Structures are given as C-alpha cells and as structure tokens.
Structure 1
Amino acid sequence: MTDEMQTFLSPATHGFVRIACVTPKVHIADPQANLAEHISLAKRADEAGADLVVFPELSLSAYAIDDLFTQEVLLESCKEALEALIRESENIRSILIVGVPLIISGAIYNCAAILHRGNCIGIVPKTYLPNYREYYEKRYFASGSQLMGEAPMLKDSKGRGYALFVDSKVPVFRAYGFEAFSFGVEICEDVWSPVTPSTRLALNGATIIVNLSASPVVVGKSRARKRLCAATSERLICCYAYSAAGPGESTTDLAWDGQSLIYEMGDLLAEGERFTSDTMTLADIDVNRIIQDRLRNGTFNDARVFSAANQDMFRTFSYTPHNLTDFHRSVPRFPYVPADKERLDEDCYEAFNIQVHGLMQRLSTSHTQNVVIGISGGLDSTHAVIVACKAFDRLGIPRTNIHGYTMPGFGTSTGSRNDALKLMKALGISSEVLDIRPAAKRMLLDIGHPFSRGERVYDVNFENVQAGLRTDFLFRLAGEKKGFVVGTGDLSELALGWCTYGVGDHMSHYNVNCGAPKTLIQHLIRWAAAKEFDARTGRILQSVLEREISPELVPIEAGVIQRTEDKVGPYELQDFNLYYITRYGLKPSKVAFLSYQAWKDKYTLPEIRKWLELFLLRFFTLSQFKRSAVPNGPKLISGGALSPRGDWRAPSDGNAKIWLDELKANVPE
C-alpha cells in the first residue's frame, strides 16, 4: 500500500475520533488490583487506535463500597493508583478517563480524572448525587456544582508534584489543531437530571460527551439508558459515549451489567456485550459532521447565545492521530433506505402517505377533479400514478378521472409500453396511447434536423424533441380535461440535472416525486405493491422494478442500448454522494472515503472517484438553474429537498472548481 493510499484510508485523516468504552473486572476496594486492569485495557485500546478511553464511574475504587469511601487508607490507595496510572500513561497515545474518589478542599468528590502523556490534564467532579431508593451518595460525596478549588497534589510521570485547579463550570477539553475534537465529561446521574452538565458542555463546544457510570441494573434499565443516551446525542447534536461498571461490583442487594453505548446524533454506533468484563467497545466518531450539523441548526446557536455559553473556556491537549486503516463504524450503502426492515416499512408508510396527502391538498385547494400523467412503464411514472390512485380513492374521486397517456417515441420498447398499458388497466384509470412520432418527425423536419433527411443522427436535440413534445401534449391535454399535470421526475434526477429544462421530468403542475431519491422509489413501489394494491397489480409493479433504467429515446434498430446509469453513474453511488454532499456538506474526499467503506466490494476507488467527480460537476455547475425553477412537490426527507424554497438554495451560475480540486488533491487515482 502506498503512503498516499495509507493516508487516505486512515479514518483520522477524515476527522474521525475513535472512542473505546472499556469494562474492567472490578476488584472491591482494591485500587492496586483495579490499576492492573486499567493498565491492561488502556494498552489494548491504544493498540486499537483509540483516542479516548472511557472507564466506568469510580473504576479505581469500585462503586458499591459504601462507608469505605470515608476510610483514609482507601482514599490514599486510590490516589496512589491514580498517580501510578499517570506514570503509565506517558507511553500511551490515548487519552484515559478514569473514575476515582478524591479529597478536594476538605470534602470527598466522585471524580473523573483525564490522563494524557504522563499528566492529569483535568479533574471533573460529579454534579448530581443520587440519594433515593438504593442510592446514598450524599452520605459520602459532595456535589461538584459549586466546587472552587484545587485537586489534591498529584505526581506526574517524572515524579514532580502539581496541583490542578477545578471549578464548577465543568471545562471542555480540546485538541491542538483539531477544534472539532473537543469533549466533556459527566458522571452517571448527571445524564438523568432535568438540567444536565452535558447541555452546558455541548453549548460550550464539546462535540463528544462521555459518561462514566456505575448504574446498577434491573429489568428494563438498559432500555432506559439507551433512550437517554440516544435522546441526549440527538438533542445536543453530539456523540454520547456511556461506560458502565460491570461484573465484580458488590452484589449485596444489587447487580451490575457493564453496559457500553456509543451514540452519534441519535444513531447507535456501537454497543458492548453486557454482563461481561475485560471488554472494549470501539466506534469512530465523525466530529466534523457534528460541527457541520450544528452550523446548519440556527436553534443550536440561539441556545448557545441565550444560555451565555462560554466557548472560550477550554483546556487544550496535544493530539497525535493514529494511522490505522481499520474502520469501526458501519456505513450504510443506502442512506435514504434503512437496513432495518421494520424501520424501512415505517419510512415507506410515511413517505407514501406524505406524497398522497400532498397531492390530495393540491386537488382540494384547486377544486380539481382530473389529473393527467404521462406513463412510460418506468419507475418514476409508475410511482406517480399509484400515488395518484390513492389520493383519488381517499377523496372519493373515481380513478377514471386520472388520465394516463403512454406516448411511444422512436426508442420505446415493447416491454415498457405493455407494462404501462397493463398497469393502467389494472389500476382502473383512463388510458390512451398517443404516438408522438408523427409530431416529432414534423418538428425535426421544420427545424432542419438531419434525421428528417434520413440520416441516423440521434443527438441530444433528437432526444429533446421527443421529451418536449410529450410535455406539450400533457399540458394541452390537462387543459382539455380541466385538470393539471402530475409530475414524475425524482430527487436523484433533479440533483444530476438528468431532465430537459422546462419539459419532461422537469416541469409539471405538481410533482409528487420531487423529494424521493431513485433508491427509495424502488422500495416505495415494492411497499405499495404489498400493502396498498391487489396481487395482479403487484405483479405488474414487480415487472417495472426489474427493468433496467433507460430513457428509451434512440431507435432500437440503431443498435444502441440506452442505459441511464452509463451516462450519470450508478444511482446507488450518486444517491450516496447526494446525501453526504447536501445533508452534511462534507468534503468530496471524505465522501469518497465513506463511499469506499460502504461499496469497496463492488466498486474500486477509481470508479468511486470517477462518478463522484461527475456528480460534483453536474450538481454544482450544470443543474442548479433547473432546480431554481422546479414546480411544487412534497418534501420527504429531512435535509434532503432540492427545491429553492426548501433545504437547498444556490446560485444558478455557480461552479464546481473548489470541490473538484479538493477531490483530485486528496483521493488517489
């Protein structure tokens, strides 16, 4: 592997921070035995490339030791173990976050100590102390909410003593030269509080929040933790890493399960095995994506301002990224299509009904009882007509008021034409065949196109004459039927500009598909076939799904098989690119890295780079003027609409230079 490829394939190159939540075997009130467990796990995590290693609450002492926390020998032994771990950390690249009881300003505090390269760079005390049911923490500990003082004298790896100032503001720790890598610490009960330290930490700039926990387990507790961590990471637009104490804790009346959870903006990235010890749960966190999402969220910035957050309050640390090429994160191939069947079913239900109700509203407010749809037998027009059928059903309008036209041109195949006719018949809509070839020949003759002189010239203008005539007929037919044209063009075509301006898939009176990417439409049709229509219609819909995507504009006898994806790239790759470029604004090189992680067993890196380069060119340079004039249509996906009235607004005369330059400079050929 070349150095260039090594650099490209390292997650650290693309702004990923690797977290390890570890669960050591707990030795009750035996800090030296716990120290040995910590050293072993810290070295394993460092070898695995971890940047942050998160231990459980009070990991050096154990949690369930009750009044032993007030024993001088225990507290001294914990301090000695902490100093020994500080010395061991000198040769460990990872940042270690460990739990330890410490005497500060004459009281005992439940603390997290942040260790790095032979020093303790911070002490964070627990704010909220549970004192109900089985919890008695106020019996031993003081709350860190008002702490103003110094940590006990600690010795660094050189044996030099130093004191660390601690206050109630709970600082954010930030890496030199990598501001997006910034983290804060809270401890167990802190996340259960109505007012959490994590809120202040996130508003002060922390992209990662870690929680050291020793929460005992009862039936259903693990689900509650997951709900809390998921909601916190989504609400605060951050990563939330939770590391709980496990086997070995005292079981006088309670048990511990060692649950490890790592969430990013509501999504579970990794979960450790419960009821085991000496384990490590790894995940690569996309901190740059977190920053990008915060930039797009004005409410987050308002909350920062209203709360008087102090983003200048940081403790900085040196950061040496790993150069490993393994990747601890699952990258979905189809970001618009959930892999989980239950969630996919729910998403299809919602998307389909959004489309249906959007069309119902337009029909109601325009007092219209008729629509016109051009039906080719392809994916998009098929989906548009089944949406229209359900809208008419729910409004109590007969389906015969849906006027479907299949308009064969010079390249229309028998299969697609037959599917279109079968579909219209099965759905019970009005159907007609309108052959556009005579009109097309006349127009080609009038404009002096070589085809009219018998030459086999099948250029873009030859294709656009057919597309334009279909639209002309549909709009005039809508006037005759006293209705409007339902559009069929999808989100993927809009992103790539794969539509003729003002005609075809670009223009209509209302477009039900404008928010649906191509990869999702296939699943929507499959879902509707199973859930909304009879078996006969379902078989026809399945036939449509099996046909290769083609504009069918060039005569079959020309010997040219038109495949749309030969021109614009595989839709599965281009939908992937669309998602990460528009939803998160990621650099092209990072999109290529993620695409490679998702698709490397099907596409080579040069292929991924080639189609991403085409996407950038078409999206930023060739297509925006078309998107600036699109008709109304329902938004389906958060952050995924390309209407100029919605999520994406851009100059019609922009260019793709800086995106193309970034791609070429950072992605190996």
Structure 2
Amino acid sequence: MNYGYYRVSSITPQLILGDIEFNTNSIISHMNLASSEQISVAVFPELAVSGYTNSDLFYNDLLINKTQQALTQLVEASNGLNTLFVIGLPYRHLHALYNAMAVLFDGKLLGIVTKTHMFNYQGGFEHTYFKPGPKRSLTQEGIPLGSHLLFRNANDPSMVVGVEICEDFWVPNSPSIEHALAGATIIANGCASYEEQLKPDIRRDYIKATSRKLKCAYLVAASGTDESTTDVVYGAHNLIAENGDILIESDPFMNESIAIEVDVEKLVNRRRKQSSFDLRLDTHDIIDFDLKPEHLTLSRVISSEPFTNEADFQYMSSIQAEALKRRLTHTKTKVTLLGLSGGQDSTLALLAIKNAYDLMGLSMDHCYTVSMPGLGTSSRTFNNAEKLAKALGTTYLEIDIKESVLKHFEDISHDQNVQDAVYENAQARERTQILMDLANKYQGLVVGTGDLSELALGWATYNGDHMSMYGVNAGIPKTLIQPMIYHNGLQYSEEIQAVLADILDTPISPELLPHNNNEITQKTQDLIGPYKLHDFFLYHLVENGFGPRKIRYLAKEAFDHEEIDKWLRVFISRFFSQQYKRSALPDGPRMSGVSLSPRSGHRMPSDASSALWLRELDDAISEES
C-alpha cells in the first residue's frame, strides 16, 4: 500500500546540443534508473531530446527528423517500465513545429502536450520556430495532441498528471490553473529557464504560491549548464513542491536530478475541504494509464510536530492579543479575570492578557489573577502562580477552595475518600463558579485557559474549566504552548523569565488529586498519553482528513514510540465521545487550519460513533501482525 504517496522525479540529463543520438541515450539511461527507483512520474526538461538553445537549427529537417526517430526509441525504451515519463522535444505535426512534451508509459505514446505561450522577450525568439499548440487535437496517427490533455492513473483516479512548459508557468493564465480545475493533482513542468540575480528566489516563490493555490504537487525539471552560454546560463534549478511547501530542490548549476514522494491523498482532501475549489471536468481530454501500485519506503521526512512547522509565535501572540482586545472593547470592559494555577495554559493566557493590555494602553491591575488552591495543589505551582501574577503587576487574589469543596461533598453525600470524577470535577466547577461570580462583581470577562489539545481529547470538566467568557488558547495545541511561553518571555526581566522557566519545567497536571510529599503524582500524559502524539493525530485527522490506517503509518514514520496503537485508540475514542463539550465551546480565535470551534471549525454531531474509525485501526494492526 502506498497510502496516497507517489515518488516523482525532476531529471536533468547530460546534453550535447544537436546530438540527438547522445541525448536520447542519456534520457533512456535516466528512464531505466527512474523505474528502478520506483519513480511514478519522471519529468525531463523542455526540448531535452534536442537541447533548447539550437536557434535556427530548428529549421533544419535533419534535426527534426532525427528527433521524430528518437521519440520512437524513447517509446520503445519505456516498455515494461512502471513510470510515466514526460520528455521535452520539438514535435512536427503537419506544417507546424511545436515545443512539446511527449508523455510515455509502458511502451505507449499516450499524448503530445504542446506549449501555449512562447517566450518572446528578453532575448527569447520561440515564436520564430514554434507555433502555439491547439487545446485538443489528434496527430495523423491518432495520438492526442494539444495543451489540454490530462493523464490519469486507472488504479487511482485521484492521481492525475497535467503538463505545462516553462513560459506557460510565468503567464497570468497558466494552463496549470485549468489543469488543476479539471482534476490534475500533479503538474509536470519541463523548462529551460536561464539564471540571473534573484531568479532562484523568484522561481521558488512562484512555485510555492502556485502549488498552494492549486493544491497540487508541482514538478520543475530544468535545462542545465550543457545548454549554450552564448548570452545566458541555464542552471538546472529543479524543484518539487506540494501545497505551498518546497519538498526538495537542486542547487543551481549542479545539473542534479531530484526525487521525493508527494501525497496525492492529502491534496485531494484539501481540495474537498475548500468548497470554492470549483472543478470543471469537461475541459480536457483524459488519457488513462495503468500504473501498478508499489509499496514505498518514504524518503521524505514526516514531521513529528506538524503544528510547529507552520508556527510563527509572534504572529500567533498577536492574534491572541487582537482577539482579546476586540472582545474587551465590544463588551466595554477593561477587567479580566483569570484562574492562575501555575501551569502552562493559564500562564500563556496571562501573557496574552498582558499583550492585549499593552495594545489597549491598560495597566495590568485591571487583570484579576485568582489562585484557588485545592485538594491537589502543590507548593511549586502555587508559588509560581503568585510570583508571576505579582511580577506582572496584576491584582492578585487567593481563595482557598478546600473547605468549600469538602462542604459540597457533604451536601451531596459524597465520600471525600473516594477520589473519582466527582472528587476532581467538583474542584474545577468550584473554581469556575468563583471566577464567574467575581466577573459579575467587577464587571469583567473570564478568560479561558483550555487549549486545542485538551478540547480534542475532552480533557476538561464540563461547565468547569471547559467554560469561560473568551478562550484565548482555544486554537493553540499543547505542543505550541511551551514555545509560545518561551517566546513571550523573552521580552521580560530575568526574574520573570526564571519563573516562566520553572513553569515550563513543571509536569503537566490538573492537580485535582492529592500530591505525595508535595510532589505532583497526577501527570496528564501518563493518563491519556503524550501530547506530542495526540497533536500529531489531531493534525492529520482534521487538517488532512486521513483515517486511522494512514495516521498510524505516518506516526510510525515520525516517532520511535512503542505505544502508538494504544494512544491512537485513546485519541479516536475520546475525540468522538467528547464532542459534546466542543459543541458548547466559548468563543476563541482560530490559529491554524485546525480549529475545533463548533461554529467555524471542525463540526460533527455529539452523538457520532467512533466504531468505523476504530475498526480501521484494528484492521491495520491485524494486517501488520
């Protein structure tokens, strides 16, 4: 199983200008190598068979006739190879010569894709030699010819390859736009692009933007330094991008070929999520080819922290601050109330309040930080909360909840020695009640501390810490909480940084059960699993739309962890069973493509069953054993 991955390659073969036989043999050598390396799509440069810089030699019949013969050799060489080849050459049809890419698979010439936009400026004279191709036509032999051809894998209809040629990419109305809208998920571009100052950066930016906008994989195979250097130098800057990310690129002037896997399933899922991605399926001719599925060992690195890869901590802090500022302005209050525990989530919420107050020109004494030690509070977290609150200039309140909670147990006839959900949740709800009542007293806003990871797992007491008047951390996963605290802390004094460092070093805990000699024994990640794993599962489930089988596969690529199956099962079970908490979620700002807001994020019914997902996980485990 390839899990939606296909290995693709951008190839720059050795070239001798005008020596068709040498160039053909060079290409065939790379074709055989590509197939042996399980390459599914291999793209070669523009006019690779002849060379790009032949100028008036393109008028010569000998060159063109030999190129036509070379095409026959290349088609024969592809026989038995499980790779789709896209190869640049001058192609003569009737009285016209086209700058074209021949698409070959397993001994068949599937189609001839023609260039639409000629390079006719800054020394370019393509219009002198080549005609723009038709959209959809046939050669005299009945082979599809034109710019609007797509090549579809009969064994996986989501793998569709479109082709454009160099200048086609640089114009405002690139053929790749229509290709993508017609279903192409991989765009192959054979080009001859000369180098000049800043050109690699410009090329890179264009390709990143195009692949993100079109939600496609984009392959560039460029002519290299074997081209003529009469006036310019061709650098073989090969690139492969996927959905806005450059996965791999070659250094210019090295004439290097590159290869990596692209995730077609992810691209299709991203398109499906964007309802404005308006497919138009009747604009192209579709040519099927029978690519045999192969099991791949991934060469690309699967990040163990996908949220961190996309994080801009300063920007995220600004989103928090602007969001809270807007809510305070709207409610016409300057006062915030925060339950400060000495843990990481409430610390980040306090720093967000500080940032918002800075924007509003408010002093921190408008922020009431409330420490509410309970039956499991340790001196470490209690002391850190007090130090931080006072160092930041907040109005600090301490309200011990132990007696009120024990009285509550007495009122509801609960044995205080039974340390169950009642024992824990009563403390969380008592704290929320105090904060809400203080908000009424001071006409302020209760700022929530719960983060994205806790919401995904339902690791919050319903109508306890689950509830607030605005949740500034609601879009931030646990794996970003620590780096955001660290980033925010850089602007403060050494005294505050020392407190923040100790908070970051404190085990994550709700501190609702009694400690052991003032040491925290209730450690969240021992109970529900590592947040690093859960954030990984969450990202790929919600952002990429993957099922348990693929998530499990990727996790095994990203982690050296023996309990992936155990914690993935926990994640799936809790993600479904705890949706009712997210359905009653307070407002809070989105931070990434993963939001669990029931209004604008991931929406699902509170009574949805996890059975289908758990069965797939069981099947994946049993198939491996």
TM-score normalised to structure 2 length: 0.97
Which residue is equivalent to 1:403? 368
Q: Which residue of 2 aligns with 1:156?
A: none
| Structure 1 Cα separation of the partners of residues 325 and 608 of structure 2 | 36
Whether the aligned pair in 1 keeps the contact of 2:90 and 2:97 (CA below 8 Å) is yes
Deviations 1:469-512 (A, max 9, x none): 111111112122221211111111001000011112x1011111
Q: Is the aligned partner of 1:315 residue 2:287?
A: yes
Offset, 1:397:
2.4
Alpha-carbon distance in 2 for matches of 1:217, 1:243 = 14
- CA 1:146–1:358 in structure 2 vs 1: closer, same or farther (change >3 Å)? closer
Q: Give the match's secondary structure for 2:200.
A: helix
* Aligned residue in 2 for 1:40: 29
Letter in 2 for 1:529: G
Structure 1 residue aligned with 2:605: 651
Matching residue within 253, 258, 278 for 2:236? 258
Q: 2: distance between equivalents of 1:109 and 1:286?
A: 32
Answering whether residue 94 of structure 2 is matched by residue 105 of structure 1, we say yes
For residues 260-659 of structure 1, the aligned pairs below 5 Å read: 260-277=238-255, 279-301=256-278, 304=279, 309-310=281-282, 313-325=285-297, 327-338=298-309, 344=311, 347-451=312-416, 456-504=417-465, 506-530=466-490, 532-557=491-516, 561-600=521-560, 603-604=561-562, 607-620=563-576, 622-637=577-592, 639-659=593-613
Amino acid at match of 2:299: H
Please state how far the C-alpha of 1:42 moved relative to its aligned partner.
1.3
Gap change, CA 1:380 and 1:147, over 3 Å in 2: closer
* Aligned counterpart for 1:229 among listed residues 201, 207, 226: 207
Contact 1:45 1:280 in 2 (8 A): no
Q: 2:191 aligns with which of 204, 209, 213?
A: 213
**Structure 1 residue 47, shift from structure 2 partner:** 1.5
| Paired-residue identity, % | 37
Counterparts of 2:135 and 2:446 in 1: how far apart (Å)? 66
Q: In structure 1, how many angstroms separate the alpha carbons of the residues matched to 2:613 and 2:27?
A: 45
CA contact (8 A) 1:269 1:330 kept: no
2:143 counterpart of 1:164: yes
CA distance in 1, matches of 2:386, 2:264: 51
Matched letter for residue 213 of structure 1? C
- Asked if 1 retains the 8 angstrom alpha-carbon contact of 2:153 and 2:290, the reply is yes
- Identify which range, 311-320 or 534-543, moves more after superposition: 311-320
SS across alignment from 2:239: strand
SS across alignment from 1:489: coil
Residues 243 and 260 in structure 1, CA contact (< 8 A), matched pair in contact too:
yes
- In 2, Cα distance between equivalents of 1:310 and 1:534: 63
Q: What secondary structure sits across from 1:240 in the alignment?
A: strand
Deviation at 1:560, TM superposition (A): 7.9
User: Structure 2 CA distance, aligned partners of 1:405 and 1:146?
Assistant: 69
Match of 2:61 among 72, 80, 86: 72
After superposition, what is the alpha-carbon deviation per residue over 1:303-355, rounded to whole angstroms, capped at 9, x for unaligned? x3xxx551673110001122232x132222211112xxxx75xx111111111
- TM-superposed deviation, 1:63: 0.5
Kept after mapping to 2: 8 A contact 1:440/1:469: yes
- Write out per-residue CA displacement over residues 213-234 of structure 1, whole angstroms, 9 at most, x where no aligned residue: 0111122211121122111111
CA distance in 2, matches of 1:281, 1:235: 23
2:345 and 2:168 mapped to 1: Cα distance? 50
1:14-93 alignment runs, 5 A limit? 14-93=3-82
Equivalent residue number for residue 186 of structure 1: 164
Following the alignment from structure 1 to structure 2, what is the Cα–Cα distance between the partners of residues 590 and 463? 36
- 8 A Cα contact 1:105 1:149, kept in partner: no
**8 A contact 1:104–1:149 mirrored in 2:** no
* Conserved? CA contact 1:207–1:290, under 8 Å: yes
**Cα deviation, residue 359, structure 1:** 1.0
Deviation at 1:591, TM superposition (A): 1.1
Offset at residue 388 of structure 1 (A): 1.0
The answer to whether the Cα contact below 8 Å between 1:211 and 1:240 also exists between their aligned partners in 2 is yes
Partner Cα separation in structure 2 for residue 446 and residue 133 of structure 1: 86
Assess if the C-alpha contact under 8 Å between 1:240 and 1:263 holds in 2.
yes
Give the Cα separation in 1 of the matches to 2:296 and 2:187.
24
CA distance in 2, matches of 1:276, 1:355: 45
Q: Which amino acid is 2:287 matched to? A: R
In the alignment, the residues of structure 2 paired with residue 499 and residue 362 of structure 1 have an alpha-carbon distance, to the nearest angstrom, of: 23
AA aligned opposite 2:582? R
Specify whether residues 431 and 141 from structure 1 end up closer, same or farther in structure 2 by C-alpha distance, changes over 3 A only: same
Equivalents in 1 of 2:39, 2:390: separation in Å?
61
Residue type matched to 1:657 in 2? A
Task: Give the match's secondary structure for 2:546.
Answer: coil
Provide the C-alpha distance between the structure 1 equivalents of 2:122 and 2:325, rounded to a whole number of angstroms: 54
Structure 2: how far apart are the matches of 1:420 and 1:25?
66
Per mean C-alpha deviation after superposition, the further-off stretch among 217-226 and 487-496 is 217-226
> Residue by residue, what CA displacement relative to the aligned partner does 1:266-320 show, whole Å, maximum 9, x if unpaired?
111111232123x32111111111111111112112xx3xxx5516731100011
Instruction: Give ranges in structure 1 of 5+ residues lacking alignment.
Output: 1-6, 152-161
Deviating above 6 A after TM superposition, structure 1's stretches of 4 or more consecutive aligned residues are: none
Tell me how far apart the structure 1 counterparts of residues 125 and 334 of structure 2 sit (CA, whole Å). Answer: 69
* Unmatched segments (≥5 aa) in structure 2: none
Output one character per residue of 1:550-570: Cα deviation in whole Å (capped at 9) or x when no partner: 111111249981110122211
CA distance in 2, matches of 1:560, 1:509: 29
Please tell me the residue identity of whatever aligns with 2:413.
Answer: G
- Structure 2 counterpart of 1:318, one-letter code: D
In structure 1, what residue type is equivalent to 2:514? P
TM-score (norm 1): 0.91
